[in-house]
Amino acid sequence: MRSAEARDEALRALYEADQRRLEPDVTGLGRRAAEMARGVWAARDSLDEAIGEAATGWRVERMPPIDRNILRLALWELRHRPGTPMPVVISEAVRLAKIYSTERSGGFVNGVLARLAGERED
């Protein structure tokens, strides 16, 4: 499975889990997507804290759920997948925002991730 497909699958599982407030259902997901979904879910408190600090004027719980989960997934990947280049992670997050959210969400996601990207130096 390609990385982009794994991100799409993981995002769908995370969005559903966020809405149900239950662990993501990884049944039927590829190995990489399941690992991402589980990892993001387990780390969501620390991810949300960092996202909240970077998202000027936005509280994480008030963000659209799809945007919140795109940011969580991207930040998790920045923190836990150092082999993936930072520009790829950010580009993929913007792609997801444009597909699953609104055109404006792409810019929002890009801006927040640009602030967060300083945590990891490539």
Q: How many CB atoms lie within 10 A of CB 38?
A: 17
| 117, pLDDT greater than 90 | no
Supply 9's token pair.
């699958």
Alpha helices in 21-102 (DSSP H): 31-54, 65-80, 86-100
- Give 58's DSSP letter: -
Q: What is the pLDDT of residue 60?
A: 96
> Does residue 121 surpass a pLDDT of 80?
no
pLDDT, one tens digit per residue, over 63-106 is 999 999 999 999 999 999 999 999 999 999 999 999 999 879 99
Share of the chain above pLDDT 70, in %: 96
- Mean pLDDT score across all residues of the chain: 93
Going by pLDDT thresholds of 50, 70 and 90, the confidence category of residue 9 is: very high
Question: Which pLDDT value is given to residue 21?
Answer: 95
Asked whether the beta carbons of 41 and 65 are under 8 A apart, the reply is no
Q: How far is CA 46 from CA 49, 51, 60, 99, 105, in A?
A: 5, 9, 12, 26, 22
Residues in CB range of 76: below 8 A, 6 or more apart: 36, 39, 40, 43, 47
